[in-house]
Amino acid sequence: MPILNHLWIIPLLPLLGSAINGLFGKGWPNKTVNMVALGSTGLSFAFAVEAVREFFGNGQQPFRKEFFDWIVAGNFRAGFDLQLDQLTVVMLMVVTGVGFLIHIYSTGYMAHEGGYYRFFSYLNLFMFFMLILVLAANFVLLFVGWEGVGLCSYLLIGFYFLKKSASDAGKKAFIVNRIGDFGFMLGMFLLFRTFHTLDFDAVFKQIADRPADAMGQFGTLTVAALLLFVGATGKSAQLPLYVWLPDAMEGPTPVSALIHAATMVTAGVYVVARSHVLYTQAPTAMYVVAIVGCATAFFAATIGLVQSDIKKVLAYSTVSQLGYMFLGCGVGAFSAGIFHLMTHAFFKALLFLSAGSVIHAMGGEQDMWHMGGLSKKIKVTYWCMLFGTIAIAGFPPFAAFFSKDAILAAAYGHEPAGKILYGVGLLAAVLTSFYMFRLVWLTFYGEQRYDEHHVHVHESPKNMTVPLMILAFLSLTGGWFALPALFGGRDYFADFLSPVFGAAEAGGGEVAASLEHILSIVAVVAATAGLLVAWRMYTGKVKRGTSEGLHKILYNKYYVDELYQAVVVGPLIWLSRNVFWKVVDVGVIDGTVNGIAHSTTAVGDTVRQTQSGNTRSYAVWVLVGALVVFAIIFWPILHPAVFGGAR
Amino acid sequence: MSGSLIIFFVLALLAVFAAISLIVQRHPIHSALSLIVVMIALAGLYLLMGAEFVAAVQIIVYGGAIMVLFVFVIMLLNAEEEERTNFSKLATYAGIPLALAVAGFIAAAIASSSGSLPAPESSGALTSTKTLSNLLFSDFVYPFELTSFLILVAILGAIVLAQRET
Amino acid sequence: MVPTSYYLILSAILFGLGIVAFVFKRNIITIFMAIELMLNAVNLAFVAFSQSLGKSDGEVFVLFVIVVAAAEAAVGLGIIILTARNRRSLNVERVDLLKL
């Protein structure tokens, strides 16, 4: 039975796992919950592998199947349609593979937490929605997955809901996502209005046949592309809607790894890549994407320089790396952007899980200034973290070297102003190397800045370390899909994705091979510089300085949250309280309802006067009534008589 | 001034004065007697118009049965003169104008529309008892039977109402 | 001959007087008699029209009115007897149990 005809199995299995765990798991021992959760995810991964195998067996023909009609309204049809092409293969493997590894890790990390069954139920639910998102063949179904992952993000960030900061963070994530979703929906509406369908194939074919919007012209395609990008900004935490991601670190670390590093936040990049036809026809929008991505990469890196919470550093690093992905897509190198998405999934998950391992070892401590000298004590975690850091800094032959390099090279060759984008991106790479190695030096080297008697440092159990090692391996080898010409290889990855991105890539930034070599060397030099400076500053005896001036601004995240609070949230709350509550709700709505009741009572009171209980007044009323009837009947005859007139 | 006109005015004035007397008298028995006078006057007017059967029925049934019933009840209940109390202001101030208004309306309607009606004849050919009874048993047989049923119901009702509780 | 309108005006006057009595008298029985007066006034109008137009339907109707008035008087007086016994008074303003 070919899996391709039953693609729905892949998302359905995690949904079943979620339902079973959610409904029945309350009293179960951890082992049973594990079986359900890991079983469903693992099977989903297996089926995904099988589907990919069949795909290759069919000669990599893009596959699409409509399972049932969901919305049929007039000429519009949105169905439960799933598709599989090369881009989907990449996303599918990343989501199910990394997802499965993180599930295994979570069995160890969450072993002593309350609400164990709830955690896995939510995690499986997330897998379901994310798989719907990547398998969808039309915008509507994608949006279902989009919203669903936002929901699961809220549920999982606020997992420790008894802690106010956690539930606040969950709310913040959901609300900021929603703002982005509003833009996404407007984009969808615009696309529907223009093309009368929302199926990917149909829309993109119609777009390809249209003339492109010129640079600077705000035609329909540009507006639609920008609106979809607003949604991507919210979901993938770019400027200005990134503010939820650092707060999302309130959730358990596996959540941060899965959702906020490897999968959910990449949904925005996926949408932009999937809609590459739209973006290539709207160069202004693409340019905006590149600029926002580049700016975010730099901006977030600067904030990450001075953070003291280990997870916050990684959060800002995620925002920064997502910026790189958008930069890649924005300059036309879509396959490079997706490539970086894949490698980032590997090393960022690795970094987060290692950080989780450190936190587990330290008994819950997350402040790096209270760590130090751990390299000898938790060897496996240390080596994995180091692998991940080397990878993210962009040293060959680790993964990110190839992907980041491809992006920067494409940016360099992009017109206009590609060199500026390249410069800022390179600077961000230096900063990335710096703060990541700062993290490693502070955590694992130097003297121990914690009290041995309170903290019993121990290595994590196998079910946590084995996924770490697998991810470390992938961080090393994952980049070998795209060896640049320097090493005598081909960009297999771009080749693989060329049936999807073909036309777009041709218009992207191209650089000569020799220039590419030079850029690669520059990148490595930059990364090394960052490493050395961090080494100088943060090993040996380190003391936490006071925070003032530039440091203070960076530490407080440029006060962006405070700005949003003052400019957006505060006025909105004031408006709600004083206008919508006091005026509209109490005054108008309650007033109308109460007013109707009051007027009914008043009318009743007035009419009651006729029922006086006094027989003689009843008699008079009878008389009055008779008179009225008489007048009505005889008026046509009477009024000439009363007022004169011809007889 | 023809003879019938004089008779009409005499009977009309008699009826009106008797009606006013009904209002003005304080003891209900006097009011009842005034009402009897009104009925007799009206019977006379019916005769003047040539409706003999109706006039006879008026005197026999209305005057002879209904008014006798009224008088019996007044005597049974030992009615007394009315007290001078003033409970309902509405009745006092709204009643007279309203009554005048009704009367005025009706009079105006009459005056404006009935000028073309022929005067009633005094000869009884058209409305003799024979004609009446023909009509009663042909066109109006259904209401006729119903009224007999109505009388039965009224008898039963009156008996039930006036029973002494045992 | 007496014009029809004379009879009708007389009928109107009697009817008005009946209304006045109906509104102003305090004795239940007197009020009832006022109702009878009104019915009589209407009878007069019926007969006048009937004779004037030459059709006997009006007089048949008068017969029915008289019958109904008789039935009504019988039942009504029965009720009045009961009420008078209950309230120990013939004053209509004493019949005010529905008053707040």
pLDDT in tens, A199-255: 888 888 888 887 777 776 778 888 989 999 999 998 888 888 888 888 888 889 999
Query: Is B163's pLDDT higher than 80?
Result: no
As for the ipTM of the complex, it is 0.90
Query: Is A506's pLDDT higher than 50?
Result: no
Residue A190 has a CB neighbour count (10 Å cut-off) of: 18
Q: State whether B109 and A642 contact (CB < 8 Å).
A: no
**Cα–Cα distance measured from residue A197 to residue A192, given in angstroms and rounded to the nearest whole number:** 5
**Cα–Cα distance measured from residue C11 to residue C7, given in angstroms and rounded to the nearest whole number:** 6
Q: State whether A641 and B94 contact (CB < 8 Å).
A: no
Query: Domains of chain A: which residue ranges?
Result: 299-544, 617-647
Q: pLDDT, tens digit, for every residue of B17-50?
A: 999 899 888 899 999 999 999 999 999 999 888 8
- Interfacial residues of A (vs C; Cβ cutoff 8 Å): 611-616, 619-620, 623
3-state DSSP assignment of residue A69: strand
Of A617, A623, A630, which is closest to B105 when you measure between CB atoms?
Answer: A630
Share of chain C above pLDDT 70, in %: 98
The C-alpha of A595 sits at a distance from chain C's nearest C-alpha, in angstroms, of 27
Confidence label for B127 from pLDDT (cuts 50, 70 and 90): low
**Cα–Cα distance measured from residue A63 to residue C86, given in angstroms and rounded to the nearest whole number:** 96
Question: Interface partners of C (3+ CB pairs, < 8 Å)?
Answer: A, B
How far apart, in Å, are the Cα atoms of A262 and each of A181, A518, B135? Answer: 20, 30, 104
Question: What's domain B1-81's architecture?
Answer: Up-down Bundle (1.20)
Q: For residue B90, which residues of chain A lie inside 8 Å, CB to CB?
A: 616-617, 620
The C-alpha of B47 sits at a distance from chain C's nearest C-alpha, in angstroms, of 10
Q: What is the distance between the terminal CA atoms of chain B, rounded to a whole angstrom?
A: 64
Rounded average pLDDT over A337-345 = 88
pLDDT of residue C100: 65
Q: State whether C90 and B147 contact (CB < 8 Å).
A: no
**Cα–Cα distance measured from residue A197 to residue B115, given in angstroms and rounded to the nearest whole number:** 82
pLDDT of residue A647: 45
Query: Domains of chain B: which residue ranges?
Result: 1-81, 125-166
Q: State whether C97 and A620 contact (CB < 8 Å).
A: no
Q: Which two tokens stand for residue C77?
A: 């007086």
Would you list the DSSP string of A594-613?
HHHHHHHHHHHHHHHTT--S
Q: Does B129 touch chain C (CB under 8 A)?
A: no
Q: State whether B105 and A626 contact (CB < 8 Å).
A: no
- Burial class for B166, CB neighbours closer than 10 Å (0-12, 13-18, 19+): exposed
pLDDT of residue C89: 83
**Cα–Cα distance measured from residue A18 to residue A119, given in angstroms and rounded to the nearest whole number:** 9
Which of B12-21, C30-39, C85-94 shows the lowest per-residue confidence on average (mean pLDDT)?
C85-94
pLDDT of residue B95: 64
Of B65, B119, B132, which is closest to C4 when you measure between CB atoms?
Answer: B119
Q: Which residues contact A31 (CB under 8 A, 6 or more apart)?
A: none
Which of A192-196, A347-351, A455-459, C56-60 shows the lowest per-residue confidence on average (mean pLDDT)?
A455-459
Q: State whether C96 and A611 contact (CB < 8 Å).
A: no
List, in sequence order, every residue forming a beta bridge with A66; answer none if it has no partner.
A81
Query: Is A378's pLDDT higher than 90?
Result: no
Q: Does B22 touch chain C (CB under 8 A)?
A: yes
Query: Is B57's pLDDT higher than 90?
Result: yes
Query: Is A459's pLDDT higher than 60?
Result: yes
Rounded average pLDDT over A389-393 = 88
Of C17, C27, C52, which is closest to B28 when you measure between CB atoms?
Answer: C27
3-state DSSP assignment of residue A454: coil
Confidence label for C91 from pLDDT (cuts 50, 70 and 90): confident
Rounded average pLDDT over A68-79 = 83
Q: Which two tokens stand for residue A409?
A: 């090279």
| Residue in B with minimal Cα distance to C41 | B42
pLDDT of residue A220: 83
pLDDT of residue C43: 95
Rounded average pLDDT over A361-367 = 82
Q: pLDDT, tens digit, for every residue of A477-504?
A: 877 766 554 555 556 676 777 777 765 4
| Residue in A with minimal Cα distance to B115 | A647
pLDDT of residue A590: 86
Query: Is A68's pLDDT higher than 90?
Result: no
The C-alpha of B148 sits at a distance from chain C's nearest C-alpha, in angstroms, of 9
How far apart, in Å, are the Cα atoms of A280 and each of A275, A283, A320? Answer: 9, 6, 24
pLDDT of residue A509: 45
Q: pLDDT, tens digit, for every residue of A257-294?
A: 888 777 878 889 999 989 888 888 888 888 899 999 99
- Tokens 């941060």 belong to which residue? A256
The C-alpha of C54 sits at a distance from chain B's nearest C-alpha, in angstroms, of 7
Q: State whether A641 and B112 contact (CB < 8 Å).
A: yes
Q: Which long-range contacts (CB under 8 A, 24 or more apart) does B142-149 make?
A: B143/C64, B147/C64, B147/C67, B147/C68
Share of chain A above pLDDT 90, in %: 16
The C-alpha of A603 sits at a distance from chain B's nearest C-alpha, in angstroms, of 21
- Interfacial residues of B (vs A; Cβ cutoff 8 Å): 87-88, 90-91, 94-95, 98-99, 101-102, 105-106, 108-109, 111-113
pLDDT of residue A513: 67
Rounded average pLDDT over A604-620 = 82
- Cβ-Cβ pairs closer than 8 A, A with C, add up to 25
- Which residue ranges form the domains of chain C, and what is each CATH number? 4-89 (1.10.287.3510)
Contact assessment for residue A385 and residue A353, using Cβ atoms and an 8 Å cutoff: no
pLDDT of residue A644: 57
Q: pLDDT, tens digit, for every residue of C12-24?
A: 889 888 988 888 8
**Cα–Cα distance measured from residue A180 to residue C58, given in angstroms and rounded to the nearest whole number:** 87
pLDDT of residue B148: 93
Q: Does B145 touch chain C (CB under 8 A)?
A: no
CA atoms within 13 A on the CB side of A607: 6
> Phi first, then psi: what are they for A80, rounded to 5°?
-80, 80
Q: For residue B98, which residues of chain C lie inside 8 Å, CB to CB?
A: 19, 23
Q: For residue A611, which residues of chain C lie inside 8 Å, CB to CB?
A: 98
List, in sequence order, every residue forming a beta bridge with A63; answer none if it has no partner.
A84
Rounded average pLDDT over A75-79 = 82
The C-alpha of C25 sits at a distance from chain A's nearest C-alpha, in angstroms, of 9
Question: Interface partners of B (3+ CB pairs, < 8 Å)?
Answer: A, C
pLDDT of residue B93: 67
The C-alpha of A616 sits at a distance from chain B's nearest C-alpha, in angstroms, of 6
A367-376, A401-410, C70-79, range with greatest mean pLDDT: C70-79
Q: Which two tokens stand for residue A109?
A: 């990390």
Query: Is A143's pLDDT higher than 90?
Result: yes
**Cα–Cα distance measured from residue B72 to residue B94, given in angstroms and rounded to the nearest whole number:** 33
pLDDT of residue A582: 81
Which of A36-45, A94-103, A586-595, B124-133 shows the lowest per-residue confidence on average (mean pLDDT)?
B124-133
Rounded average pLDDT over B57-66 = 93
| Mean pLDDT taken over chain B | 82
A416: preceding bond cis by omega (within 30 degrees): yes
Query: Is A439's pLDDT higher than 70?
Result: yes
Query: Is A638's pLDDT higher than 90?
Result: no
Of A616, A624, A647, which is closest to B98 when you measure between CB atoms?
Answer: A624
